[in-house]
Amino acid sequence: MLCYQCEQADRTGAVPGCAGPLGNCGKDPATADVQDLLVHSVQGIAQYASRARALGAGDDEAAGFILYSVFTTLTTCWRWASGASTSARRCPPISRRTW
């Protein structure tokens, strides 16, 4: 597995990222793959959202989804949200989430 998404990724080697059977955060290969797809998808959504906002048709729900998706990928909040961790670390609450 190669994962370079989160804040805990090893950045000291020749290739940045975690390259073991699990990431430093405990992420397994399947989760890393799904998060790679999420990041790729969100990049496309963000391009359309940016263009729509420039044309005066901004969508706050799309912007919220983009922010939440990127945040959960870059932090280890996915562990708490999925029940994979019982640590005291918590994701900030999203007050108005409709997606």
Spatial separation of the C-alpha atoms in residues 70 and 73, rounded to whole Å: 5
The reported pTM is 0.66
40 within a domain of the structure (yes/no): yes
In a domain, 17, yes or no: no
In this structure, is residue 47 part of a structural domain? yes
Tell me what pLDDT residue 41 has: 94
Q: Strand pairing partners for 18?
A: 3
Secondary structure element (H or E) that encloses residue 26, with its range: none
Residue 46 lies in a domain: yes
What's residue 7's pLDDT?
74
Host domain of residue 44 = 29-81
Q: How many domains does the chain have?
A: 1
* pLDDT for 12: 80
pLDDT along the chain (99 residues), means of 10: 74 77 80 87 94 92 88 68 48 50
Instruction: Provide the phi-psi class of 8: left if phi over 0, else alpha when psi is between -120 and 50, else beta.
Output: alpha
pLDDT, one tens digit per residue, over 5-29 is 777 777 787 777 777 788 777 788 8
The whole-number pLDDT of residue 24 equals 75
Which tokens sit at 6? 């989160």
Q: Is residue 55 part of a domain?
A: yes
